[in-house]
Amino acid sequence: MRRFLIAIAILGAACSRTPPVKEYQLKGQILAIKPDTGEVLVKHEEIPGFMMAMTMPYKVADAKLLTDRQPGDLITATLVVGRTEAHLSQIAKTGHAPVEDASGPAITASSMLRAGDAVPDTNLVDENNTARPLTSLKGHRVAVTFMYTRCPQPDFCPLMDRHFTALQREIKNTPGLRDVRLVSISFDPANDSPVVLKAHAKALQADPAVWHFVTTSKEDLKPFAAKFGVTAEPSDEGPSVITHNLSTAVIDPDGKLVKIRPGNNWTPADLIADLEAAPAPAR
């Protein structure tokens, strides 16, 4: 009996064990600070074993870490990476230097879609190398997000994948959402070919009847993504490193915008509410 109880205890501990986090040392320069969201934009050197040099926003474990910090500060920091999120747990200032132009390509409010606007079409190609313009999904409520398969930050593109995986599950389990389609648009056409997107879709167990992975040419992508408030540019560190933001949108069955949710601070429940607020297609 004692051995049996010990075995149960060991099994229980193994089942409750959370995936281990990893810590990396980061060295770079602060470009911008958002105290309201507890984020800091850092242009950093290569993180050996994890990430190439790039410019990325990071959440901080404690907002107090941003006290007395300012753009231009040179820092070293500890990056803590878990399965679903990453944050900076320590930040130490090592110096200060002028910030090079970090404004990036400007997107004005007038260039973005507004609720009720018709969503423009573009030459999207899906994971089967088949033309998949958004107009082909008219008659469906559509959720659209932007991502790229090589994104290393767990709370950026991989988070969008996890959210859409949850949405796919909800769509299949909810009769009132059966018309909804999901579209993940890659802003890395140089790497995310249909073959790469198909492998990515398979890894996520995406149902091709519900969830499409698409991309388009660099020339078509930039103005199209800008309509949703998305910028995605190769960084100075190399063409495989993309400095980008995030945006997710809901489109009604007539191809008109319902809502845009910028960034990654939304949940699957939020998007389901947006989809349910859109008129369902006529039967």
Mean predicted lDDT score pLDDT of the chain: 85
The more confidently predicted of residues 240 and 277 is 277
**Alpha carbons 42 and 56: distance in angstroms, whole number:** 6
Could you give phi then psi for residue 191, rounded to 5 degrees?
-110, -40
Alpha-carbon span 103 to 55, nearest angstrom: 12
How far apart are the C-alpha atoms of 171 and 3, rounded to whole Å? Answer: 46
Per-residue confidence (pLDDT) for residue 86, from 0 to 100: 80
Q: Output the CA–CA distances (angstroms, integers) from residue 159 to 20, 29, 41, 153, 263, in the order listed.
A: 18, 25, 19, 9, 11
Query: What's the pLDDT score for residue 92?
Result: 94
Q: Is the pLDDT of residue 138 over 80?
A: yes
- For 216-249, write each residue's pLDDT tens digit: 998 999 899 989 988 887 766 556 667 788 899 9
Tell me the pLDDT band of 118, cut-offs 50, 70 and 90: very high
8 Å CB contact between 136 and 113: no
From 15-19, 58-62, 104-108, 135-139, the region with the lowest mean pLDDT: 15-19
Residue 19: the pLDDT is 52
